[in-house]
Structure 1
Amino acid sequence: MTTMGERVRKKRKELGFTQEDLSGPNFSHAVISLIERDRANPSLKTLEYIAEKLNVNVNYLLYGQEKQIDLSNDITSKLAIIPSLLKLTKFKEAKKAIHEINEESVNTDQLGEYIKLKGDIEVGLGNYSEAVSHYKNALIYTTLLNIETLIEVYTKISDCFINLKDYQLAIENAQQGLLLFRFYQSKVNPFTKLQLYYNLSLSYCRISEFKKGLQSISTAFAYMEETHCYYFQNLFYMLEGLAYLYTSKFKEGIKSTLMAIKHMEKSNSTELIGCYTNLGILYREIRDYKKSLVNLEKSLELSIMHNNSWNLLNTNLEIALTYFLIGDYKSSEIICQKQLENTNNRSELFVKITLLLAFIKFKSDSNEEALELVIEAEKLSKAIGGYGLLSKVFILKSKIFNAQGNHQEAINALNTALNNCKGDSYDNLSFFLE
């Protein structure tokens, strides 16, 4: 009879997993090696973790009494191994495994799950449009008898549309999932409902429907209290703080963002970067520039730690803006010039930094340099499709032309600015209008 270690090793090799693949949050691949050589006596919790990844029962690992999965013949077994591969982020292997299954041999009652797994694989590969197509097909074969799967599919479709930046469709699918939840909530995991509320809230905020976003967030918090399930609580607080920023409720935004930081501070996650950035902006809006810089510096430190180039550029922009509003043009100028010299990414952030540097030059009576930078910002905005920034470009152009005595050009630029103005709620370059 085989030992437990031999059964772990045999099953791991059958699935093509490495020892690293089986390692967990509290034990390394070295522990797996000891277990396989029967030189360690793992706890039941560790065995449950390993068994789940290997898609076997704990009793099989302990006693070898459970029937092993026959990967060569059984469709159910073949389908069951796909989630294990997905958990290990082996998406290409999962795609290969599912392609080896003849779709015609899949039973009708398994077809919905089979197609949903195809969608899950495409999500893992970042192919969100293909994933949506699979998920929509999965809906056809998923009945109300499998309500949890049905709601899960709507949640995943909503996730995909968020990644595709089609927030209206993300809202529609989240609402569909919540509608089903209303009638079958006793059968569905509350975590799923909170995921739907989060998708709904986030999507509303992305299309500047901040009041609706705040309503969804408030409903989610009430549901958390009702169920004592606080999944996504930190992200809801973070999103609430952002929504308050864009609705100019800065003190409420500070309170929410501080709560978000409190709930995620120990995790050192990348979301903390955004929290500290938002907090710095919120303090700047109430003119507490000292706290603004303190929190923006924390965001910068985390951006460097995580090697996150977008957040690094964004945080430097916000720090430069804070120095500018304090009146410390020199510090702001140094930051802007350094970022423009060291950044190849010609994004909207790059345009904003170019505009800020142009404004500094304008404030310092260096109008020719300011005009050159504004013209460059205009070219970049049009090249990247950043037409939302063109109103700022032409407002600054108008100011420069007016300072040079070119009044007709100033009027023309101002008219162009008005034609491009979108009237967004919060705007970190709003001082251009002053």
Structure 2
Amino acid sequence: MLNIGAKIKELRKEQKMTLAQVAGDRITKGMLSLIENGKAQPSMESLQHIAKQLNIDVSELMQTEDHHQIKKLYREVEKKRLALSKFYGEKNFNEKVIELHDTILPFVENGSLKGTTFEEVRIYDAYLSLRYYAKMDLSVKPFVKLVKMYEQVHAYSKILSTFDRMAVIQFLERNYTEALNYLFEGEKYIEKYGDLIDDLEKLDLYYNITVVSAAINDDEQVERYIETAFTLSKEKKLFYRLNEFYRFLFLIHCSKEEGEKAFYYLKKMRAFVEIMEEPAETVMEQILTLSYTNQIEKDYEKTIATRYERIDIPGGIFTNIFFNGEYAYAYYMLGRYEDALTHLKDIEISSNNQHPIDLAIMYRAFAVRALCQFMLGDKENAKRDVLYATDGVKDFKITKEIQFILDAHKKIME
């Protein structure tokens, strides 16, 4: 039911304004008080004046109580959704997800989220995401409907983020071709709506195409979309995701032992780290420096001598396998098998890293451990680790890291 007076009163109090401030010089405080308490009906001229004083559109005062509830829910959901990131990886993360899901559920069940406003679509978006996080529905299908809903409310940038989401779902299942197809569908909307789509959303899409293309070793496509992203970044003077693009180019050239190109992008990353002073980026630069020393310079003594002060970052425990993997690789190449094993005692594959490039590097650590065990006469554990590593990369195309694993398998299992 429409209650304009109550809505005016609530908005006035939210903005901490007095009756006199809202009344201004067009209506009296007494009249405004009567309107707020439902004892007088304002004219359209008065409503327009009140809306102007409250710095809102007059249409907001004409909205129904149902819509008012939706806007209130929208603010609550967005606030809690943002806060969820702080609990990611914590024991109570799933509990927080379910709690927010149950807040939205009644509005889904009573048909309030029709998709006629941006707020309704955003709440429904959150609902679908929460169901995915809680493993209630791990399919892509619900998000297909969301694309049309965002288009209907002219939220074109959110269309791209929805296609990104669908691609990630497929990517985590290692359905790389399907993931790329969703991203290419998203790219069509860039052609359709152009400048109506936020540039950062475009860069997200190009980055994800790069990630998935790298997963299937399509280096030509990787470089093409990185160039597209760089062109947009230079044109609009954006730094968003630049370092992540540099990282992919570094890993590709490092894996091919193209030292000059790899070092060029390593320098780019170092410059970026100096400017941003972001702990996570610093850690990544350190890991890739060790990789460069091992794979390009092949100076294993230098790798061992290069030690970094520990930097605490969210999920940092999973960076250990990358650091320890590089140190252990250097020790193995120097024939110092026992030293290598001391770095590989408690390694594990991170569930957060599902990209073939990351996985190949992590599984290589298990192959290094297997080779060291084999050289020290522990053939049983060597076979266990090398079989685990080989099985982990069996669906990936051959890279230098994967070839190392396959060669270790051949040596140990013969």
Partner residue of 1:336 out of 326, 332, 341: 341
- Which region of structure 1 is more displaced relative to structure 2, 146-155 or 222-231? 146-155
Check if 1:249 corresponds to 2:258: yes
- Which region of structure 1 is more displaced relative to structure 2, 424-433 or 314-323? 424-433
Q: Aligned in 2, Cα 1:128/1:207: closer, same or farther, shift over 3 Å?
A: farther
Q: Aligned in 2, Cα 1:372/1:136: closer, same or farther, shift over 3 Å?
A: same
Aligned partners of 2:179, 2:396: CA distance in 1, in Å? 27
| Counterpart residue identity of residue 116, structure 2 | D
Q: What's the secondary structure of 1:429's corresponding residue? A: helix
Aligned partners of 1:285, 1:204: CA distance in 2, in Å? 23
Q: Match of 1:205?
A: 214
Check if 1:311 corresponds to 2:311: no
Q: Match of 1:184?
A: 193
Q: Match of 2:81?
A: 86
The TM-score, its normalising length taken from structure 2, stands at: 0.66
Question: Which structure 2 segments of 5+ residues have no match?
Answer: 1-8, 17-50, 85-95, 352-358
| Counterpart residue identity of residue 82, structure 2 | K
- Deviations 1:119-163, CA, capped at 9 Å, x for gaps: 34346x364954733311223444466233333322332343344
Tell whether the 8 Å contact from 1:170 to 1:199 is kept in structure 2 after alignment. no
Q: Aligned in 2, Cα 1:324/1:127: closer, same or farther, shift over 3 Å?
A: same
Check if 1:259 corresponds to 2:268: yes
Q: Match of 2:404?
A: 429
Aligned partners of 2:98, 2:143: CA distance in 1, in Å? 19
Over aligned residue pairs, what C-alpha RMSD do you find?
Answer: 4.2
Mapping 1:23-422, distance limit 5 Å: 74-81=68-75, 82-89=77-84, 91-101=97-107, 102-107=109-114, 109-110=116-117, 112-122=121-131, 125=133, 127=135, 130=138, 132-143=140-151, 146=154, 147-265=156-274, 266-287=276-297, 289=299, 293=303, 297-298=307-308, 301-302=310-311, 308-325=316-333, 327=334, 329-330=335-336, 332-337=337-342, 339-340=344-345, 342-343=346-347, 352-353=364-365, 355-357=367-369, 359-360=371-372, 369-378=377-386, 380=388, 385-386=391-392, 388=394
Q: What's the secondary structure of 2:240's corresponding residue? A: coil
The TM-score, its normalising length taken from structure 1, stands at: 0.63
| Counterpart residue identity of residue 255, structure 1 | Y
Deviation for aligned residue 1:248: 3.1
Aligned partners of 2:142, 2:204: CA distance in 1, in Å? 20
Q: What's the secondary structure of 1:297's corresponding residue? A: coil
Q: Which has the higher contact order (CA 8 A, sep 6+)?
A: 2
| Counterpart residue identity of residue 77, structure 1 | K
Question: Which structure 1 segments of 5+ residues have no match?
Answer: 10-56, 389-419
Deviation for aligned residue 1:112: 4.5
Q: Aligned in 2, Cα 1:95/1:224: closer, same or farther, shift over 3 Å?
A: same
Q: Aligned in 2, Cα 1:375/1:148: closer, same or farther, shift over 3 Å?
A: closer
Aligned residues: 335
Identity %: 13
| Counterpart residue identity of residue 383, structure 2 | I
Moved over 6 A (4+): 69-73, 344-351
Aligned partners of 2:230, 2:100: CA distance in 1, in Å? 37
| Counterpart residue identity of residue 429, structure 1 | F
| Counterpart residue identity of residue 134, structure 1 | P
Tell whether the 8 Å contact from 1:245 to 1:426 is kept in structure 2 after alignment. no
| Counterpart residue identity of residue 188, structure 2 | L
Tell whether the 8 Å contact from 1:204 to 1:210 is kept in structure 2 after alignment. yes
Q: Aligned in 2, Cα 1:220/1:246: closer, same or farther, shift over 3 Å?
A: same
Aligned partners of 1:201, 1:344: CA distance in 2, in Å? 26
Aligned partners of 1:242, 1:254: CA distance in 2, in Å? 10
Deviation for aligned residue 1:198: 0.5
Deviation for aligned residue 1:106: 3.7
Q: What's the secondary structure of 1:244's corresponding residue? A: helix
| Counterpart residue identity of residue 254, structure 1 | F
Tell whether the 8 Å contact from 1:112 to 1:139 is kept in structure 2 after alignment. no
Aligned partners of 1:306, 1:240: CA distance in 2, in Å? 25
Tell whether the 8 Å contact from 2:206 to 2:226 is kept in structure 1 after alignment. yes
- Which region of structure 1 is more displaced relative to structure 2, 308-317 or 370-379? 370-379
Q: Match of 2:355?
A: none
Aligned partners of 2:193, 2:363: CA distance in 1, in Å? 49
Tell whether the 8 Å contact from 1:260 to 1:275 is kept in structure 2 after alignment. yes
Deviation for aligned residue 1:245: 2.1
Aligned partners of 1:170, 1:362: CA distance in 2, in Å? 39
